[in-house]
Amino acid sequence: MPKNEQTSFRDYQEDGHLWITLFAGEYYPDILSLACELYQPVLVTFGHLLKSSHSSTDLFLAITQIQPVWMRIQLGRVFRKYVSPETPVEMLKKKSNADQICNRFGKGFRLITEVQSQFLSRPMPDEALCAVLWEYKERGKKGYDLTERLFKIVREQYSKLEIIGPQRAGKDVILGEFF
């Protein structure tokens, strides 16, 4: 196809499968031992916090105080699964959102006694939950890789064109600020 001729999405149908997934995933249940090794400390910590909490709000506020950030984020994900599936994952990542989360979603939090009962009914480590958490581990990575690849191609093809925005993780560009 000549370089200046306009192409349509249909022109890429033949090799489209090559662009859907840039990297192969991992096989289940092969990941379980690694997932359990990685997330068992998270589940143990969640269990300790759960045991000493008098309410689901109390549990959530205890989670917001945990360091390091990685552990707090993982505990937030476990909290979401057990206590408040309607709470957006992205909101749980920022401890500054704690009051807002309690105000908006607190009425829907599962009762602490129910959470304790459900948590104790599962094995330690809980392979099912570890597998779910493992899915979050590299969430977005393929998109970041694709974006980085696009930036590289554009810079090679159009060296005078300035590209603004994160190549990987980062705050999205607000188009209204530029137009």
48 contacts: CB under 8 Å, gap ≥ 6: none
Residue 75: band (very low, low, confident or very high) from pLDDT cuts 50, 70, 90: very high
Residue in 5, 22, 16 with CA at minimum distance from that of residue 140: 22
> What is the rounded CA–CA span in Å between residue 55 and residue 106?
10
> What is the rounded CA–CA span in Å between residue 76 and residue 105?
14
Supply the pLDDT for residue 170.
72
Residue 66: band (very low, low, confident or very high) from pLDDT cuts 50, 70, 90: very high
> What is the rounded CA–CA span in Å between residue 91 and residue 87?
7
**Radius of gyration of the chain measured on its C-alpha atoms:** 22
Whether the predicted pLDDT of 82 surpasses 80: yes
Whether the predicted pLDDT of 2 surpasses 60: no
**Which residue in this structure is represented by tokens 């192969």?**
24
55/168: higher pLDDT: 55
- Predicted TM-score of the model (pTM): 0.73
